[in-house]
Amino acid sequence: MMADLAIRESQAQAKPAAGDALTQRLAVLPHPASGITAAARQDALARLEKMGLPGRRDEYWRFTNPGVFNDPVPAPIPVQTDANDSPLFEDIDRLRLVFVDGRFDAAASDALTGEGFQIDLLSAAEATASHWAGEVYGVLEANGQTPVSRPFAALNTFAATEGVLIRVSGQVARPVHIIHRRRSDAADVNLHHVLLLEEGSEFTLLETGMIGARSNIVIEADLRAGARLHHITAKLASHPKVGIGHIFARVAAKAQFKSFELSVNGRMMRHESVVDIAGDDAVAHVAAAVLGNTADGPFHHDNTVFITHAGERCESRQVYKKVLSDGAVGVFQGKILVKPGAQKTDGYQISQSLLLDGDSQFLAKPELEIYADDVKCSHGSTTGAIDETALFYLRSRGVPRERATVLLVLSFLAAALDEVENADLRERIAERLEEWLMHRAQNDRTQNPPA
């Protein structure tokens, strides 16, 4: 009896408490101390210490193990020496900002100037006496911590070493394109971007590339009345990569927020969208097309969405499509919260998975919470396989099985891609996706030649 108790005690000592995990995590994080964001960072640290790191028992992490984000350092991933930038968007007119392992590469980037907007690096702004972002940095992130806490976003606000601060005053047609490059095996990247779109302005932000062995990205987007933001992120990850991202948006009256994510592969990825529709007649659309197989290792992709309607006559859309094979796991947690007084809300949420084999899993948790009586809100979630009739139809026209399957995967993803408003950008994404799918299909064939 005594011995039994002793063993239990020693086990309890061996397993560090949650507080210790945070201490270990913080010990190896950079602590950018002074500068315009100093107060926001201290505030974030205090909030983080209060909430602690998430555990498996947290309801919000029920489907996704936070372990790899809790670890003090990421597992290294060998850098492929022949890794090139994604050809996506490469021949459109845009302002290129290149980040290597989370550090800005001025030589590889375009000059930080443009018509209708002001752009600065977080690191440069920190050193100035005053900067507009000092008032904004961390604010939307902090607001987004209720009713659900998001510790990794607070951690990011505290520790982010770099980011882009963009203040938009005009209608900007030329997108800003953030291009990530990996050059070291074990980079643990924390980036924090702030976008402020002044009244009636319009802006497009593109993100592509490989970010570190582990990444933690926060985007705060404050859309003032009538502003329009188009955000497109396309991540083609190496298989062992782990990453977490948050986008916090506040959408004022008549403003329009659209965010689209294309995500391919990665061992453990979680993308949270937290949208606060604050004004009347505003629009917020979030969408993702996610593809994963586990041919080179496990794949787990989690989209977690929280949309709050506080204004009247606002529209929100959540369109999430996941293509899973070889035991891949897709997760979707999506919530629409309609606050009292948010009458005539039009909220819609759809999450769908296409399972290319019987081993894969899709876990969906749709939620509606409505405190207004004159609203239209609906959600749907489906899981299905390739439509055999459609496959036969395509093959009967001479399209080989492999290519027919690719066309049907693209067909499945089309509704998510349609959320990219700009037709030119949308077609580029679709073309790139098709190339990648064909490439993968051919690889599969070489690796598993038909008997």
Least distance (Å) between residue 232 CB and another protein: 18
Footprint on residues 43-82 left by another protein (CB under 8 A): none
Question: CB-based contacts of 183: which residues, under 8 Å, 6+ apart?
Answer: 79, 100, 101
Least distance (Å) between residue 204 CB and another protein: 23
Which residue stretch of 127-135, 257-265, 301-309, 414-422 sits at the interface with another protein (rule: CB under 8 A)?
414-422
Query: Dihedral angle at the C-alpha atoms of 353, 354, 359, 364, nearest 10 degrees?
Result: 10
Least distance (Å) between residue 395 CB and another protein: 4
Answer yes or no whether residue 295 interacts with another protein by CB under 8 A.
Answer: no
Among 174, 415, 441, 444, which residue interacts with another protein (rule: CB under 8 A)?
415
Question: CA-to-CA distance for 255 and 274, rounded, in angstroms?
Answer: 16
Which residue stretch of 16-24, 77-85, 217-225, 392-400 sits at the interface with another protein (rule: CB under 8 A)?
392-400
Among 397, 423, 446, 450, which residue interacts with another protein (rule: CB under 8 A)?
397
Contact 214, 189 (CB under 8 A): yes
Beta-bridged to residue 338, according to DSSP, are 309, 370
Least distance (Å) between residue 285 CB and another protein: 17
DSSP string across 369-388: EE--SS-EEEEEEEEE---H
DSSP state of 131: -
HSE-up of 278 (CA within 13 Å, CB side)? Answer: 17
Which residue stretch of 32-40, 156-164, 183-191, 391-399 sits at the interface with another protein (rule: CB under 8 A)?
391-399
Answer yes or no whether residue 123 interacts with another protein by CB under 8 A.
Answer: no
Among 84, 113, 389, 447, which residue interacts with another protein (rule: CB under 8 A)?
389
Answer yes or no whether residue 450 interacts with another protein by CB under 8 A.
Answer: no
Q: What element of type H or E holds 447?
A: helix 423-447
Least distance (Å) between residue 448 CB and another protein: 18
Q: Output 24 or 383, the one with its CB closest to another protein.
A: 383
Alpha carbon separation from 142 to 147, 336, 365, 378 (Å, rounded): 11, 19, 24, 28
Contact 30, 161 (CB under 8 A): yes
Q: Output 112 or 415, the one with its CB closest to another protein.
A: 415
Q: Output 115 or 387, the one with its CB closest to another protein.
A: 387
CA dihedral over 104, 109, 113, 116, signed as positive or negative? negative
Q: Could you tell me how many residues of this chain bind another protein (CB under 8 A)?
A: 26
Question: CA-to-CA distance for 70 and 180, rounded, in angstroms?
Answer: 23
Least distance (Å) between residue 400 CB and another protein: 5
Neighbours of 284 (CB within 10 A): 26
Least distance (Å) between residue 299 CB and another protein: 23
Among 41, 412, 432, 436, which residue interacts with another protein (rule: CB under 8 A)?
412
- Residues lying near another protein in the complex (CB under 8 A) are found at 387-390, 392-401, 403-404, 407-408, 410-415, 417-418
